[in-house]
Amino acid sequence: MDSLAGKVAIITGAASGIGRATALSLAARGTSILVADINADAAKTVAGEIETAGGDAIAQPCDITCDNAFEALKDKALDRFGRVDIVMNNAGGLTRGLPEHVPLDEWRRVLDVNLLSVVRSNLAFLPLLIAQGSGHIVNTASFAGLMTYAFDRLAYSASKAAVVQISEGLALYLRPKGIGVTVLCPGPVKTNIMASLRTFGPPTDTRGPGPAFDLMEPAEVGEQVADAILANSFMLPTHAQIRDHLIDRAGDWDGFIDRQIADPHIVARAADA
């Protein structure tokens, strides 16, 4: 995409964290924003921030688990702005518990929020983007979808690994049609995803990807996303050093798992929770 000025972006989960930061970054570069979030009041606040700064934005309450949610977002954007150029599937949910304690219904919920929402988005927006022969899709995955460092968030990790695979397939399909695809894989970033956390079974230690990965501010990630859209970059990890970990794993997968078992990076102990 040569320029973000005059473009229209729809961002889910845009009322806070990475979604909000990306909305602000794109708006500062001249993009009109549809701020979509299940928290209607917070979405209105972000849209107001953009407008106060001189940008163009509207808010739309959105439950991404509803089958018609993305059709409604598309209709709202077309009615207000007349076009759609960027779709960022950013909203997500998290659950926590040992594998034997997380019930099947909770697996269904997490996959519905994190994975099937992307499918719903594709069904709504791909025909539009393909017809116009331009656009860009951003799917938010996670470090947890690239490598395993914890065992108490398996539903989340599985859903994010699937988002990476869907995104790669979309890139193969859509790039020849003039449509870019970026998969955002955040490491430690200050967001409020823990507000939606559901827990099952006994407390567990919180494991992170490693001490090399500092906690980032959402604003920095928002700028990374804007730059990736302009550069038509596919893989966007928030911390570039993740590549070394992935190379290490690919070179000796059993050894990588053994090291994760022997020397996990504990962010917080269960006893301190």
- Residues recognised as catalytic: 156
3-state secondary structure the chain: CCCCCCCEEEEECCCCHHHHHHHHHHHHCCCEEEEEECCHHHHHHHHHHHHHCCCCEEEEECCCCCCCHHHHHHHHHHHHHCCCCEEEECCCCCEEECCCCCCHHHHHHHHHHHHHHHHHHHHHHHHHHHHHCCEEEEEECCHHHCCCCCCCCHHHHHHHHHHHHHHHHHHHHHHHHCEEEEEEECCCECCCHHHHCEEECCCCCEEECCCCCCCECHHHHHHHHHHHHHHCCCEEECCCCHHHHHHHHHHCHHHHHHHHHHCCEEEECHHHC
